[in-house]
Amino acid sequence: MTKIFLKILLVVLIITSCKKEQQQNPFEIATNRIGLLTNEIQVKELDSVFANDSIAKRTAGDQYLNSTNEIEIFEKGGTKLLVLEPKEEANLSSTIENIQIIDPRYKTVSGLSSHSTFKDINDNYTISKINNTLSTAVIFVDSIQAYFTIDKKELPQKFRQSTDIEIQTTDIPESAKIKHFWISWDVN
């Protein structure tokens, strides 16, 4: 009887020691995940995902160019972390479609954050395309479901007044700072 008890105890100890729970980094950006937020989380579940943070919802009412409801996530101390855009406006069962990364503690495995430069993007990822808009260059990196904006003030003069000129990676200075860092989960 004692031998059976010791064997069972040994098996339990082995199983529990092998099951070291690896805690999720709350600031890691990975495919379909930003910290504890995943592309499957519904708006109604955000309170549990961000239980230690504050959630502020902005509605589209009087805003001129905003057609969706934005959900802003703040630390309890007031630091803005993220801006979330649900796929469907005013639907608590909707999942999140776009996330703006505000806080630089949110990083990819390679260390890319909202305070990174174009060099950090270009050295670590394959750029899928670059769009030339009125005030920014929009850089798409499909492998991490991300797009970045860089202010055209950081680009050579010839790009600042035109959206017709195609921007190449070689046209963007390595030191150009990321203006906005977005993750897009629009295709699941």
For 9, 22, 46, the CA distances from 17, given in Å and listed in that order, are 12, 12, 32
Q: Is the pLDDT of residue 64 over 60?
A: no
pTM of the model as a whole: 0.82
Output the pLDDT for position 188: 46
| pLDDT recorded at residue 24 | 82
Average pLDDT value for the chain: 88
Nearest Cα neighbor of 112 from 177, 158, 167, 184 is 177
Per residue in 86-124, pLDDT (tens digit) is 999 888 999 999 999 999 999 999 999 999 999 999 999
Tens digits of per-residue pLDDT, 124-171? 999 999 999 999 999 999 999 999 999 999 999 999 999 999 999 999
Tally: H helices and E strands in the chain = 3, 12
